[in-house]
């Protein structure tokens, strides 16, 4: 990567594709071939979803067993037998460097396996409360498994590091995703209970969610525990600093999911049947963001500012010069001041046709009424579009690439022209999500050439001259 060009110093194009959605579904050969595709297509950003270990019941990368660990399911098992430390001390040194998050993760995972996957709240009190002697005794009975868990994390770090180096050699930035909240049943909460709003037995006092919106008429109840911001402030937000530093070890850019939660978060009573009954509770946004930006470095964070966005949230984002998000699928409600319309975009932002939470553009288009379709057609028809780019999804792809936003990111499903069957996630539903995978050979030379022609036409080559 050209060291003198920052992520938002030039116009760029990127593709959103999670690692599990690669034809191989892991960090093997297909991941490298996708980097080759991006380079051939003129795209300089690859955006992924969180790379964390997921719960078996839903597979959501936004519901992690650890916010710091890598997902061992992403490890390329074909090369696993040859992944050996260079010397006897290499693995030990790496484990010592990563001990703050690695030790709680391997203890938590080993104990959870001993309890057949039961949440830590159900463990006997001494293990639930992370009593050192009890934890050491229990994990000592499965010492080989503990070491295997450590090795898995080392191999993940090694494989991801090689992929990142390869991407950099092709001038491709890796763009990660950081959920603002963490799962209750996670190593994070188990090991740091004092940093969350929990009762004496570890149960949440209130849970996270969002009010009724575009995605869900009853709002969304996410059930994460809320942070105890006062406790976090006592050590200068050290947990947050460590978390963002870990993400910057992995990524060139990091999106903060549900950024508005740093200004105020939706608190839902534990006993409430839906998220409708929640309320906004203020958070110490400026103090937290100051710590995050300092730890992450300038120009490396992006704010997911979708949903209920107030002037206070906008002021918090702009105070730290964080790019926000524009989603074209949200633009066509008839309001000329809709912030997602291209006329309202600003340079310091990231524009998408849709996100992992939206339908594909083809699926979205199929569901529009005639009035909305007419609005889309009127806007996409302007500017003499390139030959072959007037139908869906290419008309919307071209509109995104033509935006004044410095970065335009297109979901891979849109590049492939896929419909609702390829949707990644439907918010508010528990089944049928996160499973889409591109077929072998999907990202071929013809598609790369088609994308590159639009990238060049719209000046998104990622260089000072483009």
Residues of the chain with pLDDT under 70: 1-4, 215, 382-390, 464-466
In the chain, DSSP finds a helix count (H) and a strand count (E) of: 16, 12
> What percent of the chain is modeled with pLDDT above 90?
87
Count the residues in the chain. 466
Summarised one tens digit per residue, pLDDT across range 364-388 is 999 999 999 999 999 988 643 444 4
Residue in 26, 188, 357, 359 annotated catalytic: 357
Residue in 30, 107, 304, 359 annotated catalytic: 304
pTM: 0.95
Q: 357 catalytic, yes or no?
A: yes
Report yes or no on 465 lying in a domain: no
CB-CB neighbours of 361 under 10 Å: 27
Sign of CA dihedral 212, 373, 345, 247: positive
Q: 304 catalytic, yes or no?
A: yes
Residue in 257, 263, 359, 414 annotated catalytic: 257
> SS3 for 223?
strand
pLDDT of residue 464: 57
CATH of the domain at 27: 3.20.20.80
Domain span including residue 62:
12-457
pLDDT of residue 85: 82
pLDDT of residue 212: 87
Report yes or no on 462 lying in a domain: no
Report yes or no on 2 lying in a domain: no
Count of domains for the chain: 1
Q: 177 catalytic, yes or no?
A: no
Q: Measured between alpha carbons, how far is 355 from 256 in angstroms, rounded to an integer?
A: 14
Report yes or no on 36 lying in a domain: yes
Report yes or no on 315 lying in a domain: yes
Report yes or no on 463 lying in a domain: no
Report yes or no on 106 lying in a domain: yes
Q: Measured between alpha carbons, how far is 15 from 32 in angstroms, rounded to an integer?
A: 14
Going by C-alpha positions, the residue among 435, 427, 422 that lies closest to residue 393 is: 422
Report yes or no on 225 lying in a domain: yes
């Amino acid at each position: 990567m050209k060291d003198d060009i920052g992520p938002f110093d030039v116009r760029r194009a990127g593709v959103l594709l999670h690692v599990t959605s690669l034809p191989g579904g892991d960090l093997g050969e297909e991941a490298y071939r996708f980097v080759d595709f991006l380079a051939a297509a003129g795209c300089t950003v690859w955006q992924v979803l969180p790379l964390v270990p997921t719960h078996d019941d839903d597979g959501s990368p936004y519901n992690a067993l650890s916010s710091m660990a890598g997902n061992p399911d992403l490890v390329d098992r074909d090369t696993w037998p040859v992944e050996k430390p260079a010397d006897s001390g290499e693995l030990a040194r790496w484990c010592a460097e990563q001990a703050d998050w690695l030790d709680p993760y391997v203890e938590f995972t080993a104990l959870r396996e001993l309890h057949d996957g039961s949440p830590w709240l159900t463990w006997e009190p001494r293990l639930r409360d992370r009593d050192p002697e009890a934890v050491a005794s229990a994990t000592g009975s499965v010492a080989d498994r503990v070491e295997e868990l450590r090795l898995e994390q080392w191999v993940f770090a090694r494989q991801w590091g090689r992929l990142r180096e390869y991407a950099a050699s092709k001038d491709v930035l890796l763009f990660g995703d950081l959920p603002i909240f963490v799962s209750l049943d996670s190593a994070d909460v188990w090991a740091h209970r004092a940093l969350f709003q929990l009762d004496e037995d570890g149960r949440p006092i209130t849970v996270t969610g969002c009010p009724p919106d575009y995605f869900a008429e009853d709002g969304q109840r996410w059930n994460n525990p809320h942070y105890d911001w006062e406790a976090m402030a006592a050590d200068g937000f050290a947990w947050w600093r460590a978390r963002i530093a870990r993400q910057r070890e992995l990524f060139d850019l990091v999106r903060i999911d549900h950024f508005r939660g740093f200004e105020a978060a939706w608190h839902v009573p534990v006993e409430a049947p839906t998220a409708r009954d929640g309320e906004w509770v203020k958070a110490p946004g400026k103090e937290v963001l100051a710590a995050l930006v300092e730890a992450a470095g300038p120009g490396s964070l992006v704010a997911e500012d979708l949903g209920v966005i107030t002037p206070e949230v906008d002021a918090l984002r702009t105070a730290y010069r964080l790019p926000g998000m524009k989603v074209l699928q949200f633009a066509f409600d008839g309001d000329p001041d809709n912030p997602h319309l291209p006329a309202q975009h600003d340079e310091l932002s990231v524009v998408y046709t849709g996100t992992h939470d939206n339908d594909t553009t083809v699926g979205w288009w199929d569901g529009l009424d005639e009035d909305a379709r007419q609005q889309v057609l009127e806007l996409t028809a302007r500017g003499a579009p390139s030959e072959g780019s007037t139908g869906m999804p290419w008309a919307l792809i071209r509109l995104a690439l033509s935006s004044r936003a410095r970065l335009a990111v297109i979901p891979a499903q849109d590049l492939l022209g896929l419909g609702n069957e390829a949707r990644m996630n439907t918010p508010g539903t528990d089944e049928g999500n996160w499973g889409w995978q591109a077929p072998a050979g999907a990202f071929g030379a013809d598609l790369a050439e088609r994308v590159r022609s639009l990238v060049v036409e719209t000046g998104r080559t990622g260089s000072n001259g483009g």
